[in-house]
Amino acid sequence: MYWFMQGVKAGDSLVFHFSGHGSQERNYTSDEIDGYDETLCPLDYETKGEIVDDELNATLVRPLPRGAKLLALIDACHSGTMLDLPYFCRMDRTGRYVWEDHRPLSGSWKGTSGGEVILFSGCDDHQLSSDTECLSKVASTGAMTFSFIQAIERGQGTTYGSILKAIKSFIRNSDCDLGSNISPCLLTMLTIGGGSGLRSRQEPQLTANEPFDVYTKKFSL
Protein backbone atom coordinates (compact mmCIF):
# COMPACT_ATOMS: atom_id res chain seq x y z
CA MET A 1 0.00 0.00 0.00
CA TYR A 2 2.92 2.37 0.66
CA TRP A 3 4.29 1.51 -2.78
CA PHE A 4 0.83 2.09 -4.29
CA MET A 5 0.76 5.70 -3.07
CA GLN A 6 4.30 6.67 -4.10
CA GLY A 7 4.38 9.53 -6.60
CA VAL A 8 0.60 10.01 -6.76
CA LYS A 9 -0.24 13.34 -8.41
CA ALA A 10 -3.19 15.34 -9.76
CA GLY A 11 -4.92 13.49 -12.61
CA ASP A 12 -4.15 10.02 -11.22
CA SER A 13 -7.03 7.58 -10.76
CA LEU A 14 -6.36 4.71 -8.34
CA VAL A 15 -8.27 1.52 -7.58
CA PHE A 16 -7.74 -0.54 -4.42
CA HIS A 17 -9.57 -3.88 -4.04
CA PHE A 18 -9.36 -6.25 -1.09
CA SER A 19 -11.45 -9.40 -0.77
CA GLY A 20 -10.68 -11.43 2.34
CA HIS A 21 -11.04 -11.53 6.11
CA GLY A 22 -11.78 -8.51 8.27
CA SER A 23 -12.23 -8.12 12.01
CA GLN A 24 -12.52 -5.55 14.83
CA GLU A 25 -10.59 -4.59 17.91
CA ARG A 26 -11.35 -2.27 20.81
CA ASN A 27 -10.53 1.40 20.20
CA TYR A 28 -9.06 3.46 23.04
CA THR A 29 -8.47 6.82 21.31
CA SER A 30 -12.08 8.07 21.06
CA ASP A 31 -12.01 8.27 17.25
CA GLU A 32 -14.57 5.52 16.61
CA ILE A 33 -18.30 6.13 17.16
CA ASP A 34 -18.97 2.48 18.05
CA GLY A 35 -15.78 2.06 20.12
CA TYR A 36 -14.15 -0.41 17.70
CA ASP A 37 -11.42 -0.15 15.08
CA GLU A 38 -11.91 -2.20 11.94
CA THR A 39 -9.05 -4.37 10.67
CA LEU A 40 -7.92 -6.30 7.61
CA CYS A 41 -6.43 -9.74 8.16
CA PRO A 42 -3.57 -10.43 5.74
CA LEU A 43 -2.19 -13.92 5.20
CA ASP A 44 0.34 -13.53 8.04
CA TYR A 45 -1.95 -11.77 10.55
CA GLU A 46 -1.40 -14.48 13.19
CA THR A 47 2.32 -13.64 13.37
CA LYS A 48 2.48 -10.06 12.05
CA GLY A 49 -0.86 -8.72 13.29
CA GLU A 50 -3.88 -7.19 11.60
CA ILE A 51 -3.91 -3.95 9.60
CA VAL A 52 -5.95 -1.38 11.54
CA ASP A 53 -8.22 1.15 9.83
CA ASP A 54 -6.12 4.00 11.27
CA GLU A 55 -3.14 2.65 9.32
CA LEU A 56 -5.22 2.28 6.15
CA ASN A 57 -6.44 5.87 6.50
CA ALA A 58 -2.93 7.21 7.11
CA THR A 59 -1.54 5.27 4.13
CA LEU A 60 -4.27 5.46 1.47
CA VAL A 61 -6.45 8.44 2.37
CA ARG A 62 -4.62 11.32 4.02
CA PRO A 63 -1.73 11.57 1.49
CA LEU A 64 -4.05 11.76 -1.56
CA PRO A 65 -3.39 15.14 -3.24
CA ARG A 66 -5.88 17.50 -4.85
CA GLY A 67 -6.87 16.35 -8.33
CA ALA A 68 -6.24 12.65 -7.62
CA LYS A 69 -8.96 10.11 -6.82
CA LEU A 70 -9.13 6.68 -5.24
CA LEU A 71 -11.93 4.15 -5.62
CA ALA A 72 -11.69 1.39 -2.99
CA LEU A 73 -13.66 -1.85 -2.83
CA ILE A 74 -13.22 -3.76 0.42
CA ASP A 75 -15.15 -7.02 0.58
CA ALA A 76 -14.55 -8.17 4.16
CA CYS A 77 -16.33 -8.59 7.47
CA HIS A 78 -16.78 -5.35 9.47
CA SER A 79 -15.73 -3.28 6.45
CA GLY A 80 -18.29 -0.45 6.59
CA THR A 81 -15.84 2.22 7.76
CA MET A 82 -12.63 0.34 6.96
CA LEU A 83 -10.90 3.48 5.60
CA ASP A 84 -12.13 5.71 8.45
CA LEU A 85 -13.59 8.18 5.96
CA PRO A 86 -15.46 11.15 7.48
CA TYR A 87 -18.85 10.62 5.78
CA PHE A 88 -21.11 7.54 5.67
CA CYS A 89 -23.97 7.20 3.16
CA ARG A 90 -26.92 5.55 4.96
CA MET A 91 -29.30 4.23 2.26
CA ASP A 92 -32.62 2.53 3.03
CA ARG A 93 -34.42 -0.14 1.00
CA THR A 94 -36.22 2.42 -1.17
CA GLY A 95 -32.96 4.06 -2.20
CA ARG A 96 -33.38 7.16 -0.04
CA TYR A 97 -30.18 8.18 1.68
CA VAL A 98 -28.61 10.57 4.15
CA TRP A 99 -24.97 11.34 4.81
CA GLU A 100 -23.90 10.65 8.39
CA ASP A 101 -21.04 12.68 9.85
CA HIS A 102 -18.47 10.16 11.13
CA ARG A 103 -15.73 12.63 11.97
CA PRO A 104 -14.23 11.43 15.27
CA LEU A 105 -15.04 13.16 18.54
CA SER A 106 -11.31 13.36 19.19
CA GLY A 107 -11.07 15.95 16.42
CA SER A 108 -8.44 14.02 14.47
CA TRP A 109 -8.60 14.58 10.70
CA LYS A 110 -9.43 11.47 8.64
CA GLY A 111 -9.92 13.12 5.24
CA THR A 112 -7.52 13.60 2.31
CA SER A 113 -5.00 16.24 1.29
CA GLY A 114 -7.50 17.51 -1.28
CA GLY A 115 -8.09 14.33 -3.30
CA GLU A 116 -11.28 12.26 -3.59
CA VAL A 117 -11.74 8.87 -1.92
CA ILE A 118 -14.89 6.76 -2.25
CA LEU A 119 -15.23 3.32 -0.66
CA PHE A 120 -17.72 0.57 -1.48
CA SER A 121 -17.61 -1.94 1.38
CA GLY A 122 -19.10 -5.40 1.79
CA CYS A 123 -21.16 -4.73 4.91
CA ASP A 124 -21.75 -2.50 7.92
CA ASP A 125 -19.22 -2.45 10.75
CA HIS A 126 -21.26 -4.84 12.89
CA GLN A 127 -21.93 -7.33 10.07
CA LEU A 128 -20.16 -10.21 8.34
CA SER A 129 -19.41 -10.39 4.61
CA SER A 130 -19.81 -13.74 2.91
CA ASP A 131 -18.11 -15.70 0.18
CA THR A 132 -20.24 -18.27 -1.60
CA GLU A 133 -20.59 -20.42 -4.73
CA CYS A 134 -24.33 -19.75 -4.79
CA LEU A 135 -24.14 -16.48 -6.72
CA SER A 136 -21.73 -17.35 -9.55
CA LYS A 137 -22.73 -21.06 -9.68
CA VAL A 138 -19.10 -21.72 -10.67
CA ALA A 139 -16.66 -20.70 -7.95
CA SER A 140 -16.63 -19.19 -4.49
CA THR A 141 -16.74 -15.39 -4.73
CA GLY A 142 -17.19 -12.50 -2.34
CA ALA A 143 -20.89 -11.61 -2.41
CA MET A 144 -20.25 -7.88 -2.58
CA THR A 145 -17.53 -8.17 -5.26
CA PHE A 146 -19.76 -10.39 -7.41
CA SER A 147 -22.74 -8.04 -6.95
CA PHE A 148 -20.62 -5.00 -7.88
CA ILE A 149 -19.50 -6.67 -11.13
CA GLN A 150 -23.11 -7.65 -11.89
CA ALA A 151 -24.26 -4.05 -11.40
CA ILE A 152 -21.64 -2.77 -13.86
CA GLU A 153 -22.31 -5.48 -16.46
CA ARG A 154 -26.09 -4.94 -16.27
CA GLY A 155 -25.82 -1.23 -16.94
CA GLN A 156 -26.60 -0.18 -13.36
CA GLY A 157 -23.26 1.55 -12.89
CA THR A 158 -24.19 5.00 -14.14
CA THR A 159 -23.90 6.74 -10.76
CA TYR A 160 -22.55 5.83 -7.33
CA GLY A 161 -26.10 5.74 -6.04
CA SER A 162 -27.33 3.36 -8.75
CA ILE A 163 -24.44 0.99 -7.99
CA LEU A 164 -25.03 1.03 -4.23
CA LYS A 165 -28.77 0.50 -4.65
CA ALA A 166 -28.19 -2.35 -7.14
CA ILE A 167 -25.68 -4.29 -5.03
CA LYS A 168 -27.81 -3.89 -1.91
CA SER A 169 -30.88 -5.20 -3.78
CA PHE A 170 -28.95 -8.06 -5.37
CA ILE A 171 -27.71 -9.38 -2.02
CA ARG A 172 -30.98 -8.69 -0.20
CA ASN A 173 -33.04 -10.52 -2.84
CA SER A 174 -30.66 -13.46 -3.20
CA ASP A 175 -32.03 -16.78 -1.99
CA CYS A 176 -28.52 -17.89 -1.01
CA ASP A 177 -27.59 -18.58 2.59
CA LEU A 178 -24.86 -15.97 2.69
CA GLY A 179 -23.82 -16.90 6.21
CA SER A 180 -23.12 -20.55 5.51
CA ASN A 181 -19.51 -20.27 4.32
CA ILE A 182 -18.03 -18.19 7.14
CA SER A 183 -15.23 -20.19 8.70
CA PRO A 184 -15.61 -21.23 12.38
CA CYS A 185 -12.07 -20.08 13.21
CA LEU A 186 -12.86 -16.61 11.90
CA LEU A 187 -16.10 -16.50 13.86
CA THR A 188 -14.11 -17.28 17.00
CA MET A 189 -11.76 -14.40 16.25
CA LEU A 190 -14.69 -12.09 15.55
CA THR A 191 -16.35 -13.02 18.83
CA ILE A 192 -13.23 -11.88 20.64
CA GLY A 193 -13.42 -8.61 18.71
CA GLY A 194 -16.98 -8.02 19.91
CA GLY A 195 -19.91 -6.40 18.14
CA SER A 196 -23.56 -7.30 17.92
CA GLY A 197 -25.93 -8.51 15.22
CA LEU A 198 -23.21 -10.45 13.44
CA ARG A 199 -25.66 -12.86 11.84
CA SER A 200 -27.77 -10.18 10.12
CA ARG A 201 -27.63 -10.28 6.31
CA GLN A 202 -24.85 -8.09 5.01
CA GLU A 203 -25.67 -4.64 3.62
CA PRO A 204 -23.01 -3.13 1.34
CA GLN A 205 -22.10 0.46 2.27
CA LEU A 206 -20.64 3.63 0.77
CA THR A 207 -18.33 6.09 2.54
CA ALA A 208 -16.42 9.10 1.23
CA ASN A 209 -14.12 11.93 2.22
CA GLU A 210 -16.85 14.45 1.28
CA PRO A 211 -20.65 14.09 0.91
CA PHE A 212 -22.14 14.35 -2.59
CA ASP A 213 -25.37 13.65 -4.48
CA VAL A 214 -25.03 9.93 -5.15
CA TYR A 215 -27.65 9.93 -7.93
CA THR A 216 -26.10 12.72 -10.01
CA LYS A 217 -22.39 12.03 -9.51
CA LYS A 218 -21.29 9.84 -12.42
CA PHE A 219 -19.34 6.71 -11.59
CA SER A 220 -15.91 6.80 -13.18
CA LEU A 221 -12.50 5.20 -12.95
Q: Would 3 be classed as within a structural domain?
A: no
Q: What domain range includes position 94?
A: 13-208
200, 73, 69, 84: CA torsion to nearest 10: 40
Q: Would 219 be classed as within a structural domain?
A: no
Give the chain's domain count: 1
Q: Is 77 annotated as catalytic? A: yes
Tell me the C-alpha to C-alpha distance, in Å, between residue 134 and each of 7, 180, 192.
41, 10, 29
- Stated pTM of the model: 0.87
Q: Would 44 be classed as within a structural domain?
A: yes
Any idea what the Cα angle at residue 204 is, between residues 113 and 47, rounded to 5°? 70
Residue pLDDT, tens place only, 162-198: 999 999 998 888 766 665 444 433 443 444 444 444 4
Residue type, 174: S
Q: Which of 56-60, 104-108, 142-146, 192-196 has the lowest mean pLDDT?
A: 192-196
Residue pLDDT, tens place only, 85-119: 999 999 999 999 999 999 988 888 899 999 999 99
Q: Is 41 annotated as catalytic? A: no
Q: Would 140 be classed as within a structural domain?
A: yes
Q: Would 7 be classed as within a structural domain?
A: no
Q: Would 2 be classed as within a structural domain?
A: no
Q: Would 77 be classed as within a structural domain?
A: yes
Q: Would 29 be classed as within a structural domain?
A: yes
Q: Which of 41, 77, 89, 123 is catalytic?
A: 77
Q: What CATH number corresponds to the domain at position 112?
A: 3.40.50.12660
